Amino acid sequence: MKKIVIMGATSGIGEHVAESLAATGWRVGVAGRKVDRMKALKEMFPDSIEWEAIDITKSEAPRKLLSLIRKIGGMDIYFHVAGIGFFDPKLDIQREVDTAETNVVGFTRMIDTAFHYFRNVGKGHIAIISSVAGTKGIGEIAAYSASKRYQQNYIEALEQLSRMHGLKIAFTDIRPGWVRTPLLDPDRKYPMTMKEGEVVPMILKALKKRTRIAVIDRRWAAAVFFWRLIPGRLWVKIPVTLSKPAEKPSEVAICLLYTSPSPRDRTR
């Protein structure tokens, strides 16, 4: 029986992945801050799911992760979904710091704990949900886009470290575009949105195949390809905005104007 710990399994993508895997016989450890949601998952799958309340910004989070691993009898995959982000064109200092503390400091705390665990047991698989927003620095979501770039570079560095020490640890970086969740404003229009029901099967496929980098979906993969072609000196001169597009925006405008998984305050 495969065993997975999902950090950030109390809403959205993480919760749906937990449900899908538990329904197909996986042993699933769910972690997050919403105790009621974890209890509900446990009631749905009493023989498959264990849970632990974990706030990744707290120093005790690694100890609680190891406790959850013991509850499910080990861990084959650590899947990090937890994170926050804000649409912050005014650059509110507290919001930017909160984002960094969760998506950088908290992320590092938990990924390192998983890395040490897998190094000790001899093998494993670390997977994360980052974002297409990590492709370029985006002014209106500065901390969010920068933190996602950090996450992408960090697991790349850990993969190199793993190879240097002959460790059998696989890494998967899943980069979604906009996923239609309750956190998206229903009164706004977004290009290339996806429903959770469409996204979760693609994520499960990437996890099971141990895909190194999976951009969700093909449309966003194409957009990311073209973003990468724009030199940094040109990118910073482009007035990238997350506002609603004009009535008839060009294809290029869509690629430039819409860059974040969510223009509202949001969490994964």
State CA 7 to chain mean position distance: 10
The count of C-alpha atoms lying within 13 angstroms of the C-alpha of 143, restricted to the half-sphere facing its C-beta, is: 25
Report yes or no on whether pTM surpasses 0.85. Answer: yes
Confidence check: pLDDT of 254 > 50: no
**What three-state secondary structure class fits 160?**
helix
At 66, the amino acid letter reads L
For residue 11, give the DSSP letter.
S
pLDDT at 205: 95
**What three-state secondary structure class fits 193?**
coil
Nearest to 44 by CA among 62, 69, 18, 64: 18
Average of per-residue pLDDT values in the chain: 86
pLDDT at 188: 53
Rounded-to-integer distance, Cα 129 and Cα 172, Å: 9
pLDDT digits (tens, 9 = 90+) for 11-32: 888 999 999 999 999 999 999 9
Residue 57 Cα distances to 2, 36, 102, 140, angstroms: 28, 20, 6, 24
Rounded-to-integer distance, Cα 108 and Cα 56, Å: 9
pLDDT digits (tens, 9 = 90+) for 177-213: 766 654 454 555 666 777 777 889 999 999 999 999 9
- β-sheet bridge partners, residue 6: 30, 79
pLDDT digits (tens, 9 = 90+) for 215-228: 987 787 888 888 88
Could you list the beta-strand ranges (E) of the chain: 3-7, 27-32, 49-53, 77-80, 84-85, 123-129, 168-176, 179-180, 194-195, 213-216, 266-267
